[in-house]
Amino acid sequence: MISKRLAASFLIAVAALAGVTHWRASAREAAAEAAYPPSGSFVTVDGKRLHYEMKGQGPDLVMLHGASGSLRDLTFALRDQLADRFRVTVVDRPGLGHSDALDETSLLAQARFIKAGVAQLGVTDPIVLGQSYGGAVALAWALDGGPRALVLVGSPSMPWPGKLDPWYRLTDNPVGRALAIPLASALVPDSYVRSAIGAVFAPDPVPKGYEDFLGTALTLRRETLAANVAQVNALRAELVTMEQHYPSLTLPVELIHGTADTIVPLDIHSAPLSHLLPDATITVIPGAGHMPHHSHPSLVIAATLRAALR
């Protein structure tokens, strides 16, 4: 009898915790979407919405943000420094920001979705700039055909040794996702988010006003967390497949990478990639971390201009 009562009490406690977690996550999501509503417009591809901003005149440049982010990372400063020389289209990748998640999360599926979306805007032969995970999407786009040139900023491109960090390992199975994602959405404090942003930028400083502008609360929504972990956990296997096809990419590619990038290390990714691509130029930034488009924007802009000329 006692064991039955204990079991009943445990189930009641679990149900109560689940209810509180759901309420807390829902409240935070509503607050995030009120504070950071869509800043741009939408196009629809096969019933799914792609959120974008377009600004400027000139050759077409499409910009793709990294993991756990949104187009706000690129509109904080870099987009406006390029809009006087390019027609810049910045998008939220599927499942992040205000773009709908896709049923298939692969790099190729994302690239085709974005390609079809921007084509509706008259963007059919762009330069594609991808930062971090966005650069892997850009590579998949190039392998599928379309861009006139690539600019890859601190981007993963090669299979890496070892494993992803504990968060991604925890969420690499249905049970882990079901338990961890609601708890993270409901309970992760702002102090942890600020620390995580600092780690992404290190050893470079976080630009003043960046944290407030970025809208990290959007990233903590349950559907966004689920989309992001699915994409990142699938990345290495996709790069294994893509690596053998890199020598076929004859388009101009500009690689920009910091020597102090510990998230996507130079010697594992851009350095070997530069030897596989027939027409690659690599800019190595001594002492720079994972976000050179913020810490060294002039070098990223110069690389983008070279890509346009090449």
CATH code of the domain covering residue 168? 3.40.50.1820
214 pLDDT higher than 80:
yes
Least confident of 4-8, 22-26, 83-87, 93-97: 4-8
Q: What is the pLDDT of residues 6-65, one digit of tens each?
A: 433 333 433 444 566 888 999 999 999 999 999 999 999 999 999 999 999 999 999 999
Instruction: Return the percentage of the chain with pLDDT > 70, whole number.
Output: 94
Cβ 136 vs Cβ 235: under 8 Å: yes
221 pLDDT higher than 60:
yes
pLDDT at position 17 is 45
Residue 170 lies in a domain: yes
220-to-25, 29, 68, 225 alpha-carbon distances in Å: 9, 8, 9, 6
- CA–CA distance, 290 with 248 (Å, rounded to integer): 27
pLDDT at position 231 is 98
How does residue 207 score in pLDDT terms, banded at 50, 70 and 90? very high
Residue 122: CB atoms within 10 Å = 10
Structural domain harbouring 61: 34-309
Residue 2 lies in a domain: no
- CA–CA distance, 225 with 168 (Å, rounded to integer): 11
DSSP strand pairing (60-64 vs 87-91)? parallel
Residue 202 lies in a domain: yes
Residue 4 lies in a domain: no
Find tokens 């060294």 and name the residue: 296
The separation between CA 28 and the C-alpha centre of its own chain, rounded to angstroms, equals 22
Residue 178 lies in a domain: yes
pLDDT at position 14 is 37
Q: Between 73 and 146, where is the model more confident?
A: 73
Residue 18 lies in a domain: no
Give me the chain's average pLDDT, please. 94
Residue 277 lies in a domain: yes
Domain count, the chain: 1
Q: What is the pLDDT of residues 166-178, one digit of tens each?
A: 999 999 999 999 9
How does residue 310 score in pLDDT terms, banded at 50, 70 and 90? confident
Quote the strand ranges of 215-306, DSSP E: 253-258, 280-285
- CA–CA distance, 295 with 249 (Å, rounded to integer): 29
Task: Over range 280-303, report the average pLDDT.
Answer: 98
Q: Encode burial over 29-61: b for 16+ CB neighbours within 10 A, e otherwise.
A: beebeeebeebbeebebeebbbbbbbbbeebbb
pTM of the model: 0.93
Q: Encode burial over 256-289: b for 16+ CB neighbours within 10 A, e otherwise.
A: bbbeebebbbbebbbbebbebbeebebbebeebb
Whether the link from the prior residue into 203 is cis, omega within 30° of 0, is yes
3-state secondary structure of 175: helix
pLDDT at position 208 is 97
Instruction: Return the percentage of the chain with pLDDT > 90, whole number.
Output: 92
Q: Between 226 and 21, where is the model more confident?
A: 226
Residue 158 lies in a domain: yes
